[in-house]
Structure 1
Amino acid sequence: MAPRRRRGEGALPLSEHYGDLVRVALMEARPAGLQTKQLVAATRLSPSQVARRVRHLRDVGAAEHLTPIIWRRKDGYLFSDEPADWIAYEKQQFRLLLGRLTRMITGTLDPHLARYPDDEWAQLASAQLTGVRATLSQLSK
């Protein structure tokens, strides 16, 4: 009896294949982009599979120094050769991170410190995250 495969084992070739489907669809649309619905139609993948393959392509692209995939509301996902497009996308990602971090600080950490001002861990987290928050604020401008 052959050993049972765990979930996800052997998925690399399929992952690469699906990643290629997304990459080819985006390359064919170039210089325009494709919205998620258009990528779903072009690749016959589910929206979650498309999202996973985009993440996979970003990881592969970064490792191989390829053109990054960016996302814009009006264009969807696209390959752009313009550094200004990359910077705009990066700033938007920093704004998103800043918003999430700010909500975590104001919604969880600040009330924690208000109730237990001497909590060593909360003080450390607050001090560290203040610096991160300032950095993200500068990067998103």
Structure 2
Amino acid sequence: MATLRDPCAERGWPPVVWGQEVGYHFCASEAELEEWERAWLSEKLTQFRQMITGTIGPYLARFPKSTWAGYLSDQMKAIESNLAMVARPPR
């Protein structure tokens, strides 16, 4: 499906998303698209948090003066912060 998304976008077709009840389908509903995007972002947020705590944290603990690990940690935390903002439901 990932390879289909770019050609669909180039042709101006609605986005292809997956839903529990209907499977893969073209989606023109703003509410459904927002729900799908927030779920996708929430999944990525979990992956980033696992990377920070499971890999980068122990790396920094072992090599606290590592320039690369410090830079990577700062960048990943910035991404985590941005994902957390967009993944939460609107107020």
TM-score of the pair, normalised by structure 1: 0.59
Which of 131, 134, 137 aligns to 2:78? It is 131
What runs of 5+ residues in structure 1 fail to find an aligned partner? 1-53
**Residue correspondence of structure 1 range 27-42 to structure 2 within 5 A:** none
* Offset, 1:78: 1.3
**Residue correspondence of structure 1 range 73-88 to structure 2 within 5 A:** 73-88=20-35
Which of 15, 18, 22 aligns to 1:71? It is 18
| 2:67 aligned residue | 120
**Residue correspondence of structure 1 range 57-68 to structure 2 within 5 A:** 57-68=4-15
CA distance in 2, matches of 1:118, 1:97: 28
* Offset, 1:72: 1.6
CA distance in 2, matches of 1:137, 1:61: 28
| 1:41 aligned residue | none
RMSD: 1.1
CA distance in 2, matches of 1:102, 1:74: 29
| 1:30 aligned residue | none
CA distance in 1, matches of 2:10, 2:44: 23
Q: How many residues align?
A: 88
What runs of 5+ residues in structure 2 fail to find an aligned partner? none
| 1:106 aligned residue | 53
Say which SS state the counterpart of residue 55 (structure 2) adopts: helix
Work out the percentage of aligned pairs sharing the same amino acid.
Answer: 31
| Deviations 1:37-86, CA, capped at 9 Å, x for gaps | xxxxxxxxxxxxxxxxx222211112222100111222211112111111
Say which SS state the counterpart of residue 90 (structure 1) adopts: helix
